[in-house]
Amino acid sequence: MATGDGHGCDARLEASVRSFPELLLQVGESLHASLVVDDQGRIGRIHSTLAVAAGWGNGVPPEGRLLEEVLQLFPWLVDALRTALTGTETVSEGGERDRWMRALVLPVFGNEGQCLGACARLSERAPAKPGPAHQARLEQELTRTQRQYEDLLNTIDGIVWEADVNFRFTFVNKQSERLLGHPPHQWIQDPDFWKKHVHPEDREWAQAYCMKASRERRPYEFEYRMLAADGRVVWLRSIVTVLSEEERPLKLRGIMVDVTEQRMAREKLEQTASVLRATFDSIADGVVVVDRNMRITAFNKRFQQLWQLPDEVLETGTKTEKPLAAALHLVKDPERFAARIHEVYALPDLEDVDTVELADGRTLERTTRPQWMGNTIIGRIWSYRDVTAEHQAREKLEQTVSLLRATFDSIADGVIVVGRDQRITTFNQRFQRIWRFSETVQLENLDALQAVTAAAPLVKDPERFVSQLQKMFVLSDREAVDTVELRDGRILERTTMPQRMGDTIIGRIWSYRDVTEERLAKSEQERLFVAERHARAQLEESLAVLDTFLNNAPIGLAFLDRNLRFIQLNDALATLHGNTREQELGRALRELAPHIAANVEPLLSQVLATGKPIIGLGMALEVPATPGQLRHWRVSYYPVRTTSGRLVGVGAVVVEVTAERRAQLERERLLQEAREAIQTRDDFLCVASHELKTPLTPLKLHLQRLQKKSASGQPLPPDFADKALVQVDRLSGLISDMLDASQLEAGRLELEREPLPLQEVIHEALEAFRPVSLQHPLEYEEQCTEALVIQGDRERLVQVLSHLLENARKYSPLKGAIRVTLTRNGAEAVVSVSDRGIGIPADQQAHLFERFFRARNAPISGFGGLGLGLYICRHLIERHGGRIWAESQNGLGTTFRFTLPVEPAPPLHGRA
Ligand code: ADP
């Protein structure tokens, strides 16, 4: 086939050319040619008669020899053929008188216009003779030849035609009707006949191709499809010759041969070949085919890959040595491999399978068989398959199987497998032992029922046992578990399930396990379980009771484990830590109340370490529940032990004793006070009796002398009464102090207050004091100009001043000056009384104004006192809204000062 553009279908053109000699023969045959030669003049076919006539009847084939060699006897025919090979058809005659021959010699052209060969059709005739008769005979002969020629044309198995340059047919032989169903007249009458009947797909290119070839005036040949009258598609090979004159194409002449069948066969062959090629390249096996000359005729990619052969080593047509040498490097045992290959080659018809181990760990399976063509061995096919994975898988499978077998033999279950035919296929040793089969008994392949019947006497209920098994032996998919009791007391648990292969049940598996121990243990366990449940119920009851007590106890209770975490405690205790019970459970005291833990944990640890309790320990602590408040506790810690004596923790009992403690302190305080009061009273009585007795003794003496004098009638000394009165004054002073003190104590002392110039009060006191203090110089200094008026009780204020003056006198040596000052300090008047006497020890000064207080350094006799004076003074001054205090240095003297609020000054005009 050829295409119009002459590009895309080069391959197809080439194919046509390759097949041309065959075509040449075919053309020759269709022309009934006696001789066909190729373009070189070599004989392609020669009719046997002609061959014999030419002297080639001796069995030597003339085919393939040059025509000059073969046709030495027929030089005229050689000339005609050589002429035809130059492209010119000729008619030539020659021969001997009695054997005159005539030859029609036609050139056959290729589609490139080149001459491909020539055909000669020979006919025998009488030699020519001159004269009219000869002329008539010639004409007659010509007519006959023409008819013969026409007959020839019509009998050619092809459409012989002639057309003008526009493809209008001028002649078509009768074969046109036979091959395509279109009678010749249709071809000739319709000017577009050819165009119309070319297959639409070929129409365009075929027309263009023909036009181009015609223009170039070269003969051509191509294949295309035409539509037959009945609609068939017919493949035609068209051979066309362009007849031209003076460089102009005149007509076309050609022959169309039906190549449909050939075409179909070729396509089919090509398809098959391509399928085979694709298959060859895509199969998993690496294949190489070697011919009998040890050359590689074919190999696939897989082969190249498997043997890692580069392209330059493996080429079609090369000898096998190179690739074999390269492959040997890969093989683990190259010598054996090579030897094996040579062995195979030595036996051409051997089919062989072998395994090749490669150095890189791969395993190849090698198959080889002879390559046959018909009955002849033309080579050998070697095929290699990588079976590494398969090998590994098989090895693994074998391992698994052996592992399974080992497992099967070592499991505690006695297993037996029964096949479809009810024969034992597998069993393990354990099965034999359970059922007391001797190890010598051959169980495999034994009828299962026979085995069961043999074992049945071991069972408590053998009949039931056998019938059960019989039922189950059928190939059902039932799975079941039950128990079998044996006479010897053993209990077997029996499991049965179908043995499957894929979805098919191929047998039944029976497995027996000795569960005697297990069952016994289980029933024991159940008994224990009931007992335990009972005990637990009791325990829970006890715990509930305990919990109620624990929680409602008014004291803190807790149980701590060895890590000092609360395992149990009551709300009373948790509340102290400022938490709830739930918050504290499981936690340690140091997390909850670090401050308490610092005091308590050492004690708890001590109990854990010694195993000895700490009982009734007093403790004073602040707790988070009541910050800032010191509370008192009595705590006890007990070691807690299990019945086996193991120390598991500490029990704590915490009792609050704050109220008791307070009551006790109060009692102690009151007792102390009472003691002190008694002491004070005793002291007072002692002092008071002494003080009261002191003036009484001289008074009694005076009165006794008075009695003696008056009895004797003697005159009384002038100061006698005065001295007695001094003692009486002293007594009454003591008594009035006592009275004042008791009134103050009872809150019954009344003041009679009036506006008083303070200077007046001081003067009055000083005037009264002067006579009694003759031994002590008395100084008075007023540092204010105006009268300082106060609201006061004149008598009481004089009493205060007199007492201070009296003390100054009492506690000063003779001649010790006494100094009184009056100053104003803002709204207050400040009065001071100073002496240079014994002073007061610093530590005693704070108590000066307390009842019954007498300083350590105050002499017991001489200037007695009840320790009430300053007490009364303080009360009187404070009742006047003032303050009183003392400043003293031991041994150097004392100054008492008191203040009194001064009345505001009256307006100026009031004074005038
Ligand atoms: P008494 O009547 O004992 O003097 P007071 O109340 O007047 O009682 O004085 C209490 C005590 O204060 C005295 O016993 C004395 O120890 C001390 N005291 C008071 N005034 C002076 C003073 N001027 N110098 C030294 N000690 C004094």
pLDDT, tens digit (0-9, with 9 covering 90-100), for 764-784:
999 999 988 888 999 999 998
Higher pLDDT, 879 or 374: 879
Query: Given the CA of residue 872, which atom of ligand 1 is nearest to it?
Result: 6
Helix, strand or coil, per DSSP, at residue 360: coil
pLDDT of res. 362:
92
pLDDT digits (tens, 9 = 90+) for 420-443: 888 888 888 888 888 888 888 788
User: Which of 803, 820, 847, 854 most suits a substitution to test ligand 1, by most atoms within 8 Å of the C-beta?
Assistant: 854
The CA 772 to ligand 1 mean position distance, Å, reads: 18
Does residue 866 line the site of ligand 1, with CB under 6 A?
yes
Is residue 125 within 8 A of residue 100, CB to CB? The reply is yes
Tell me phi and psi for residue 709, to 5 degrees. Answer: -60, -50
Q: Residue 422 is encoded by which pair of tokens?
A: 């009810």
pLDDT-derived band of residue 19, with 50, 70 and 90 as boundaries? very low
The CA 843 to ligand 1 mean position distance, Å, reads: 15
Whether the per-residue pLDDT at 911 is higher than 50: the answer is: no
The CA 841 to ligand 1 mean position distance, Å, reads: 12
The CA 840 to ligand 1 mean position distance, Å, reads: 9
pLDDT of res. 471:
77
Q: Residue 806: CB partners within 8 Å, gap ≥ 6? A: 769, 869
Whether the per-residue pLDDT at 604 is higher than 50: the answer is: yes
pLDDT-derived band of residue 906, with 50, 70 and 90 as boundaries? low
DSSP 342: H
User: Which of 684, 692, 736, 811 most suits a substitution to test ligand 1, by most atoms within 8 Å of the C-beta?
Assistant: 811
Distance of alpha carbon 392 from alpha carbon 15, whole angstroms: 51
The CA 733 to ligand 1 mean position distance, Å, reads: 15
pLDDT digits (tens, 9 = 90+) for 793-815: 999 999 999 999 999 998 998 89
pLDDT of res. 111:
66
Whether the per-residue pLDDT at 11 is higher than 60: the answer is: no
DSSP 128: P
Range with lowest mean pLDDT among 205-209, 243-247, 807-811, 813-817: 243-247
pLDDT digits (tens, 9 = 90+) for 838-895: 999 999 999 999 988 888 887 765 556 788 999 999 999 999 999 999 999 999 999 9
pLDDT digits (tens, 9 = 90+) for 558-600: 999 999 999 989 888 998 888 998 999 999 989 988 888 999 9
pLDDT of res. 848:
92
Is residue 415 within 8 A of residue 408, CB to CB? The reply is yes
Helix, strand or coil, per DSSP, at residue 718: coil
Q: Which helix (H) or strand (E) holds 695?
A: helix 658-712
Q: Which helix (H) or strand (E) holds 485?
A: strand 480-485
Does residue 875 line the site of ligand 1, with CB under 6 A?
no
Does residue 737 line the site of ligand 1, with CB under 6 A?
no
The CA 760 to ligand 1 mean position distance, Å, reads: 26
Is residue 291 within 8 A of residue 378, CB to CB? The reply is yes
Q: In DSSP terms, which residues pair with 253 in a beta bridge?
A: 162, 241
User: Which of 738, 744, 810, 833 most suits a substitution to test ligand 1, by most atoms within 8 Å of the C-beta?
Assistant: 810
Q: In DSSP terms, which residues pair with 121 in a beta bridge?
A: 104
Nearest CA to ligand 1 atom 23: 808
Does residue 865 line the site of ligand 1, with CB under 6 A?
yes
pLDDT digits (tens, 9 = 90+) for 44-78: 888 888 888 888 888 788 888 888 988 888 888 99
pLDDT-derived band of residue 355, with 50, 70 and 90 as boundaries? very high
Can you say how many angstroms the Cα of residue 306 is from the centroid of all Cα atoms in its chain? 42
3-state secondary structure string across 869-895: HHHHHHHHHHHCCCCEEEEEECCCEEE
Radius of gyration of the chain (CA): 79
pLDDT of res. 358:
93
Across the chain, what does the average pLDDT equal?
A: 87
The CA 855 to ligand 1 mean position distance, Å, reads: 7
572: nearest Cα among 593, 556, 588:
556
pLDDT digits (tens, 9 = 90+) for 138-183: 777 777 777 777 777 777 788 989 888 888 898 898 888 888 999 9
pLDDT digits (tens, 9 = 90+) for 460-487: 988 888 888 877 766 678 888 989 999 9
Q: What share of the chain in percent tops pLDDT 70?
A: 94
Query: Given the CA of residue 867, which atom of ligand 1 is nearest to it?
Result: 8
pLDDT of res. 723:
81
pLDDT digits (tens, 9 = 90+) for 625-680: 889 999 999 999 999 999 999 999 999 999 999 999 999 999 999 999 999 888 87
Range with lowest mean pLDDT among 325-329, 432-436, 444-448, 868-872: 444-448
Distance of alpha carbon 630 from alpha carbon 657, whole angstroms: 11
The CA 859 to ligand 1 mean position distance, Å, reads: 10
